[in-house]
Amino acid sequence: MKARAGIVGFRGYSGAELVRILSGHPQAQPVLLEHRSDVEHRAQPIDSKAVSALPCTAEAVRNHRLAVVFLATPADVSMELAPALLATGTKVIDLSGAYRLRTQENYSRWYKEDHKSADLLAEAVYGLPEFYRAAIPQARLISNPGCYPTAANLAIKPLLERGLVDRAHGIVCDAKSGVSGAGRKPTLKTHFCEAAENVTAYSILNHRHVPEVLLTSGLEEAEFSFTAQLIPIDRGILETIYFRAVQGTTADRILDAYRSRYAGEPFVRLYKHGQIPDLKPVQRTNFCDIGFRFDPATGRAVVVAVIDNLVKGAAGQAVQNMNLALGYEETAGLL
Amino acid sequence: MKARAGIVGFRGYSGAELVRILSGHPQAQPVLLEHRSDVEHRAQPIDSKAVSALPCTAEAVRNHRLAVVFLATPADVSMELAPALLATGTKVIDLSGAYRLRTQENYSRWYKEDHKSADLLAEAVYGLPEFYRAAIPQARLISNPGCYPTAANLAIKPLLERGLVDRAHGIVCDAKSGVSGAGRKPTLKTHFCEAAENVTAYSILNHRHVPEVLLTSGLEEAEFSFTAQLIPIDRGILETIYFRAVQGTTADRILDAYRSRYAGEPFVRLYKHGQIPDLKPVQRTNFCDIGFRFDPATGRAVVVAVIDNLVKGAAGQAVQNMNLALGYEETAGLL
Amino acid sequence: MKARAGIVGFRGYSGAELVRILSGHPQAQPVLLEHRSDVEHRAQPIDSKAVSALPCTAEAVRNHRLAVVFLATPADVSMELAPALLATGTKVIDLSGAYRLRTQENYSRWYKEDHKSADLLAEAVYGLPEFYRAAIPQARLISNPGCYPTAANLAIKPLLERGLVDRAHGIVCDAKSGVSGAGRKPTLKTHFCEAAENVTAYSILNHRHVPEVLLTSGLEEAEFSFTAQLIPIDRGILETIYFRAVQGTTADRILDAYRSRYAGEPFVRLYKHGQIPDLKPVQRTNFCDIGFRFDPATGRAVVVAVIDNLVKGAAGQAVQNMNLALGYEETAGLL
Amino acid sequence: MKARAGIVGFRGYSGAELVRILSGHPQAQPVLLEHRSDVEHRAQPIDSKAVSALPCTAEAVRNHRLAVVFLATPADVSMELAPALLATGTKVIDLSGAYRLRTQENYSRWYKEDHKSADLLAEAVYGLPEFYRAAIPQARLISNPGCYPTAANLAIKPLLERGLVDRAHGIVCDAKSGVSGAGRKPTLKTHFCEAAENVTAYSILNHRHVPEVLLTSGLEEAEFSFTAQLIPIDRGILETIYFRAVQGTTADRILDAYRSRYAGEPFVRLYKHGQIPDLKPVQRTNFCDIGFRFDPATGRAVVVAVIDNLVKGAAGQAVQNMNLALGYEETAGLL
């Protein structure tokens, strides 16, 4: 008997990816939860399995005994839905930014709006398993990390922990993302003729994902410069990260910092010094691949981290969190 | 002293292309006319030439002595604006489908709405210069052809005139268009993630552009099958046209039909038998390139015609019409 | 104990797709067979499962007891390898065009070269399971269909069998394919800057895949006009098929012809009259989706069939054939 | 009587762009010079102006009195051709990297080969008009800047001159380029299926264009980190540049540094603080657009500079240099 996993926002890109992953999961099955939505259906083959959705109510969650509900919704919808859903006893995994920060003040600063259920901020667990695995099983509310911070923290934190980064010089993270990261709601920015043959940098130095990197990595805002850029691909994020290493750093020590930290990690893969991953090996997977190049003469280092923004950057990591929360094999449905 | 040419809808793709072409025109200059509009501005460099637009009123057209007004607007807007603009004495070149058909009945059938200024239908001249050049100079209202019919009629009509097509077998026209043909208003269909890595066939056997082909070519509806398909490119149309040739046809006779018909035409270019154009030679130009292949053993023939949907399929042909209407060199601003 | 399935040409696009599908197969596992090859490796993560390939020799096939060998190679390589491999007692599934036609003469006509192992032509079974399922289990040599003919025959044959097509009018098949269909070897045609923002029609009226359609459908060459076009997508084929239906045809009868023929078929999905599939529902799947539109007033019909050229058009169908040949569930590894 | 401008490498992307620009130049006309070449011709319309090319010999240059010869060739070809061409008295504008560095040693270090005409290194003038305008008219040999250094130096140098950059923190330049920057010769990297839906970082920390930035900007190698990345677009470069500003810097001072330096410059356009250009306004133009964002609280600054890699990054700037070298209006043929 498979566990039932509700999905709110199943017509969006992250939600549809959740449906896809959970449809192949050995221990869980997707249950669609209909909330208000402005995105259109697609034509369906005749006799295709009826896409019948339940109403997204506390009653439906109780009656159908949903073990977990995924919120693939905008932050304001998540803030509204989470409290009522949690009251049913289900676990909630929120893919929006609603519960990623720790305080109401910090939320207001970066999201430019008041929080509607701020009492949950302290309770929510930040679902980056590689760093917070222990806290996830007992969490009622798991806040799934943003796509950019997932790659950034996986690439930066082992080096900071090992003290290899000259923090006074600061760290630069230049991120390129597929257009699916901007959501399925049509806007001029996501119009094919505006996005194709183009690169669009946005939210420079004040992107909402920055505070997530600071909280996890321990960096100060002044030490971290981040730019997000939309490029004409559907899915994938490549982040190019620049820093100055401390005296005595070598390529081997950098690689060793990663290998020690990620030994046994199922979803982080490392490349030899000088080998740089591109997006192809991670698309449609839950992997984060990391490569780097270090110049011993000057101490300059460049790390490249790649993920699929809809998988390790959203739905895949959410299922990884579900696996931990419900006591399944962490990789179930993901390899 | 350059003639002033008003442009309504200058933020859309066809309108912006009109601005671009007219900015380099030796005898005319663009004047922006602001109508209600839901598309956004782009960021502009400092000190960039002020994009100041006049209100789109009969008064402004009179006061600024606009010699011509281009309507790069949806059909319902064109139907509303044209009568008032014509009353000022200016010429109107309409890029929508509002005035391309000859009767109210035919318009209602294909556009699924009543015509708001049907009295102008009989007067409007269909601005396909290669076939209606003589009528254009004296026209008050020029109806600029649709993008698909422009390529289709240029490819088909010389062969029909010469009697080379076995009409009983019918003609098939399979059209592939860039996404700019769907306009700048964001929709799910034009979302990058839906349009990229995809092909979308639409309005099969009942596309609004079909009656334009019938009117110009003289084909019956039963003789002409047309499918339009969006492919993930910004601009360009390639039409693949299939027919059975009458007994006695040869590749030379087909080529000769084209060469005779288009001798001296500045914007139609022909390829040798078996050489097939792609989109690169016509993008950002007002050319229509035509190639074909004929199989004498079976009489099967395939013609490929390519244009830039925003130039020969819209703004470029509109300027070609303006040149004829105002007595300029037909190619002015277009080569 | 899983059966071993050798793959020659595993670095090409079809070969890599075979590796991907077989890696998730419940009863078979991929074994890489190294042949001469000019395509490059990609960088690999540290500790990634060693990609060790056996030499592609009869001895290796025997020693490692390969139950089947897939040839994802050009036709001239397949013609050379198949006889020696068959001599080992293994089954061979060839993805090239080498064994798709029935006679040496027909092969020479369409492939412009002599056949090197023509004695196998009569023996090879054409692996289109929807029409030749019964013959596949006992075949030693299975010739996997071409990508274009797979979609074309699935779309056309049920209508021909039911007598709904007015064959005197001929059938037109206009195909649009992703660039992966042209193979991984770099050429000017597959250069990003030539293929992007472009459409390229090629081999008009003499494409090598035409005789496969004729053999399976029973159409005469004069009755079938085919054009293949490369469009700027990675993978996927959409075919737009035009014909005139015989008197008395209705949309219901067309749909019924498909439904009767494909009842129980696991990989063919049908759409209601007027609903037209695009590529998204079939990419990375072994499905062929079919939709159509019929105009009763004129008898004109348009059918749209979509597949993933690397899956149902190549590697997926090859695994479907392997499943039949080795006695597994037909859908194993494919759903 | 127009001056004759020879073009070697006219079938490559930069060379074809030179042909396009010079065909519309009021005072010069292109003359094609045939050298060994492996790139293919395209099909041409019937009666298209004969593309007849002269042999690329000193004799042809003399006989046809070429005022200038553009070398749109690889560095090793340019090193070979330049001396003989200069001997004819013509001016040479080289678009390769052959003459961009000042010493044989530096060339060998970055280009990993010996220089074949090192005596010309000292004489060659670096053709970045915004900084070396005075030296260009009297130069015999003009070395056209690389695409990446053009954008980087235009973005960085005014700030360094004004002392606004805290050089101890270093400058990071993250560049994204269209695939045309990799040339027209087909490789696996430029194959559509490898480049589409992908980002490829290459030559990290040791790209050949780095020393050009150092020479022009005066930065030390340790102060400048550069990564080039291919993204799936045809043409355009966007560079995101990160630095820490010195105490007392304000957004106004940054903007003022640019405005003072570029007052009167025809091809540099500036944006207001916080407005960031994308590629659309510069594609197919010779403009470099620059925008930035500054955070006064932390001193972090991000500058975005965009150009068309084939125009301001290659052929357009080469024509700008020709205009200066032959005494024409600097913008002739370029606006």
The interface predicted TM-score (ipTM) is 0.96
Number of C-alpha atoms within 13 angstroms, CB side, residue A228? 23
Closest CB to B40 among A179, A188, A235: A188
- Give the pLDDT band (50/70/90) at residue C175: very high
pLDDT at B11: 94
β-sheet bridge partners, residue C30: C5
C-alpha pair distances (Å), A292 with each of A253, A301, D172: 12, 7, 16
Token output for D96: 């390769």
DSSP state of A26: S
pLDDT at A124: 98
Q: Which chains touch B (3 or more CB pairs under 8 A)?
A: A, C, D
A34 has a pLDDT exceeding 70? yes
pLDDT at A52: 80
Strands A66-71 and A91-94: parallel
pLDDT digits over B250-275, tens only? 999 999 999 999 999 999 999 999 99
Nearest to C179 by CA among A193, B174, B239, B231: B231
pLDDT at C41: 65
Whether residue D284 lies within 8 A of chain B, CB to CB, comes out as yes
Contact at CB, B45 and D197, closer than 8 angstroms = no
pLDDT digits over B77-120, tens only? 999 999 999 999 999 999 999 999 999 999 999 999 999 999 99
What is the nearest CA distance from D332 to chain C, expressed in angstroms? 28
Which residue matches tokens 């530096």?
A: D106
Contact at CB, A234 and B193, closer than 8 angstroms = yes
Contact at CB, A40 and B192, closer than 8 angstroms = no
C-alpha A176/C-alpha B218 separation (Å) is 52
pLDDT at C238: 98
For residues B265 and B291, is the Cβ–Cβ distance under 8 A?
no
Sheet holding D300-307, edge to edge: D200-202, D224-230, D171-177, D237-244, D300-307, D288-295, D268-270
Distance from CA of residue B35 to its chain's centroid?
Answer: 22
Amino acid identity at C56: C
Q: Which residues of A touch D233 (CB under 8 A)?
A: 196-199, 231-232
pLDDT digits over C61-93, tens only? 999 999 999 999 999 999 999 999 999 999 999
What is the mean predicted confidence (pLDDT) over D304-311? 98
Q: Which residues of D touch C196 (CB under 8 A)?
A: 179, 192, 196, 232-234
Contact at CB, B300 and C222, closer than 8 angstroms = yes
Whether residue B201 lies within 8 A of chain C, CB to CB, comes out as yes
pLDDT at B23: 96
Q: Which segments within chain A are labelled E, that is strand?
A: 3-8, 28-34, 54-55, 66-71, 91-94, 125-126, 141-143, 171-177, 200-202, 224-230, 237-244, 268-270, 288-295, 300-307
Nearest to C157 by CA among C316, C272, C265: C265
For residues A237 and D229, is the Cβ–Cβ distance under 8 A?
no
pLDDT digits over A90-103, tens only? 999 999 999 999 99
Fold category of C148-309 in CATH: Dihydrodipicolinate Reductase; domain 2 (3.30.360)
pLDDT digits over D158-202, tens only? 999 999 999 999 999 999 999 999 999 999 999 999 999 999 999
Least confident segment among A178-192, A220-234, B24-38: B24-38
C-alpha C237/C-alpha C96 separation (Å) is 18
B38 has a pLDDT exceeding 60? no
- Give the pLDDT band (50/70/90) at residue A126: very high
What is the mean predicted confidence (pLDDT) over C112-117? 96
Quick one: angle between helices A147-161 and A251-262, nearest 10? 110
Question: What percent of chain D is modeled with pLDDT above 90?
Answer: 94
- Give the pLDDT band (50/70/90) at residue A314: very high
- Give the pLDDT band (50/70/90) at residue B52: confident
Token output for B71: 């309507």
Strands A237-244 and A224-230: unpaired
Query: What values do phi and psi take at B220, rounded to 5?
Result: -85, 155
- pTM for the whole thing? 0.97
Average pLDDT, chain B: 96
Query: What values do phi and psi take at A243, rounded to 5?
Result: -155, 170
- Give the pLDDT band (50/70/90) at residue B42: confident
pLDDT at B46: 87
C-alpha A329/C-alpha C36 separation (Å) is 41
A41 has a pLDDT exceeding 70? no
Token output for D313: 């990054």
The DSSP secondary structure of D251-305, one letter per residue, reads HHHHHHHHHHHHTT-SSEEE--TT----STTTTTSS-EEEEEEEETTTTEEEEEE
Token output for D147: 């695409």
Which residues have a Cβ under 8 Å from the Cβ of D328 and sit 6 or more positions away? D27, D28, D322
The CA-to-CA distance between both ends of chain C, in Å, stands at 21
For residues A3 and A67, is the Cβ–Cβ distance under 8 A?
yes
Least confident segment among A125-134, C52-61, D238-247: C52-61
Average pLDDT, chain D: 96
B210 has a pLDDT exceeding 60? yes
Which residue matches tokens 């597994």?
A: C328
Distance from CA of residue A100 to its chain's centroid?
Answer: 11
C-alpha D126/C-alpha D213 separation (Å) is 12
What is the nearest CA distance from C103 to chain D, expressed in angstroms? 35
Q: Which residues of C touch B232 (CB under 8 A)?
A: 231-233
What is the mean predicted confidence (pLDDT) over C185-212? 97
Residue contacts between A and D (CB atoms, under 8 Å): 136
pLDDT digits over C262-318, tens only? 999 999 999 999 999 999 999 999 999 999 999 999 999 999 999 999 999 999 999
pLDDT digits over A220-275, tens only? 999 999 999 999 999 999 999 999 999 999 999 999 999 999 999 999 999 999 99
Number of C-alpha atoms within 13 angstroms, CB side, residue D159? 31
**Of residues C256 and B41, which shows the higher confidence score?**
C256
User: DSSP 3-state assignment of B274?
Assistant: coil
Nearest to D283 by CA among D307, D303, D316, D266: D307
* Equal fold, D3-145+313-326 vs D148-309: no
Mutation target to probe the C interface, by most C beta carbons within 10 A, among D193, D197, D230 is D193
Q: Is the dihedral of CA C308, C313, C319, C325 positive or negative?
A: positive
pLDDT at D50: 57
- Residues in chain C, total: 335
Contact at CB, B194 and C280, closer than 8 angstroms = yes
Whether residue B26 lies within 8 A of chain D, CB to CB, comes out as no
Whether residue B239 lies within 8 A of chain D, CB to CB, comes out as no
**Residues of D annotated catalytic, as ranges:** 147
Contact at CB, C222 and B299, closer than 8 angstroms = yes
pLDDT at D47: 75
Token output for A14: 């992250």
C155 has a pLDDT exceeding 90? yes
C50 has a pLDDT exceeding 60? no
C-alpha pair distances (Å), A168 with each of A213, B322, D243: 17, 64, 13
C-alpha pair distances (Å), C307 with each of A199, B12, B175, C64, C279: 31, 35, 20, 34, 7
- Give the pLDDT band (50/70/90) at residue C37: low
pLDDT digits over B293-307, tens only? 999 999 999 999 999
C-alpha C291/C-alpha B84 separation (Å) is 45
Strands D171-177 and D141-143: unpaired
Q: Which residues of D touch C232 (CB under 8 A)?
A: 192, 196
pLDDT at D52: 80
Give the residue extent of every domain in chain B: 3-145+313-326, 148-309
C-alpha D146/C-alpha D101 separation (Å) is 11
Question: For the structural domain made of B3-145+313-326, what CATH number should be given?
Answer: 3.40.50.720
Q: Which segments within chain D are labelled E, that is strand?
A: 3-8, 28-34, 54-55, 66-71, 91-94, 125-126, 141-143, 171-177, 200-202, 224-230, 237-244, 268-270, 288-295, 300-307
Contact at CB, C289 and A45, closer than 8 angstroms = yes
pLDDT at A330: 98
C-alpha D22/C-alpha D33 separation (Å) is 14
C38 has a pLDDT exceeding 60? no
A106 has a pLDDT exceeding 90? yes
Q: Which chains touch A (3 or more CB pairs under 8 A)?
A: B, C, D
Amino acid identity at B244: R
Token output for B200: 């979308």
pLDDT digits over D231-251, tens only? 999 999 999 999 999 999 999
Amino acid identity at C47: D
D41 has a pLDDT exceeding 70? no
Q: Which residues of D touch B276 (CB under 8 A)?
A: 43
What is the mean predicted confidence (pLDDT) over C238-248? 98
Least confident segment among A135-144, A163-172, C33-42, D18-27: C33-42
pLDDT at A40: 61
